[in-house]
Amino acid sequence: MRIWRPADAARHVTVPLEHDDKYSRGVLGIATGSESYPGAAVLGVDAALHTGVGMVRYVGPDAAGSLVLQRRPEAVRARGRVQAWLIGSGIDAEHRDASTERALREAFADGVPVVADAGALDLVVEGLHRSTGDPGRLIITPHAGELARMLGAARVDVVADPVAAAHEAARRWDCVVLLKGHLTVVAGGDVVVGARAATPWLATAGAGDALGGVLGAMLATRAARWEVEPANSADAAALVELAASAAVVHGIAANRASGGGPFTVLELCQHLPQVIAELAQLATREPEG
């Protein structure tokens, strides 16, 4: 399995151009968080804005929305067009209220790429993305326990062979699978790559919610380019590479936040802009391919 490195990730950072405005850079819709887990919404929005995106539209319960705006007044709560969705983090599939249920279903139906995490994964198993959206443009981000639940497998079996499990899920649900762990495995089509975690200190509650924000922002900004250059549009391999790149960005930021010790997820987010800046610079030095 190829291990994805910073120089690879650098090619998937979308740098704004002179003529860009906030819409042409890409808008990310985020439908995350709940009464029980409002923090997941804050972390995903904070990570997305620090990774760089034209706008975040946050759709979620008022309690979570208030916390999101307290932390990040840049987030917009008005509905409107988006170039990608991040859904499910901080949502319990067994206790979705009616408006959350509607928001998740509308995201799948929107026809733009979707990152589905935690409390949206059961809807992928249900096949919702097949009937309403473009299934090839879905990235799911389970941890081993969540993937085991989706597959009806034992968690130990997913951990023992994460590549096989990720491939099986990608084939079964016609999507890209980013399986989180010490080694993050990304599979889609017949492509599989790995991203090594920078530090086990990253194993902390909320780290995956921030990864969703990083990936969502990288996807929305790239999807905005696909809208104007349809010839370069996403195939499974492109989405696998983009997702692995998000894991690399997240891992580097974690390493810097850690410095060999514990850190909070918001501290990880604060390192994201510099990581993105350095990768953007690296991309100008690395030839494509």
Ligand X SMILES: NC(=O)C1=CN([C@@H]2O[C@H](COP(=O)(O)OP(=O)(O)OC[C@H]3O[C@@H](n4cnc5c(N)ncnc54)[C@H](OP(=O)(O)O)[C@@H]3O)[C@@H](O)[C@H]2O)[C@@H](O)CC1
Using rule CB under 6 A, residue 3 touches ligand ADP: no
Report d(CA 14, CA 239) in Å as an integer. 14
Which residues ranging from 178 to 197 are in contact with ligand X (CB under 6 A)?
none
Q: Which of 147, 174, 177 is nearest to 159 (CA)?
A: 147
Q: Under a CB-based contact definition with an 8 Å cutoff, are residues 85 and 112 in contact?
A: yes
Using rule CB under 6 A, residue 160 touches ligand ADP: no
For the chain, the first-to-last Cα distance in angstroms comes to: 18
How many Å separate Cα 42 from the centre of its chain? 14
Which residues ranging from 38 to 77 are in contact with ligand X (CB under 6 A)?
39-40
- Residues contacting 232, CB < 8 A, separation 6+: 225, 226
Rg (CA), the chain: 17
Cβ at position 7, least distance to ligand ADP in Å: 21
- Residues contacting 82, CB < 8 A, separation 6+: 27, 28, 29, 57, 110, 112, 220
Residues 224-263, mask of contacts with ligand X (x by CB under 6 A): ----------------------------------------
Q: Which residue is nearest to ligand ADP (CB)?
A: 208
Residue 136 assigned as binding residue: no
Tell me the number of residues near ligand X by CB under 6 A.
15
Report d(CA 207, CA 181) in Å as an integer. 11
Cβ at position 131, least distance to ligand ADP in Å: 27
Residue 166 assigned as binding residue: no
Annotated binding site for (6S)-NADPHX: 40, 90, 143, 209
Residues that bind ligand ADP (CB under 6 A): 143, 180-182, 184, 197, 200, 202-203, 205-209, 211
Residues that bind ligand X (CB under 6 A): 37, 39-40, 89-91, 118-119, 143, 145-146, 205-206, 208-209
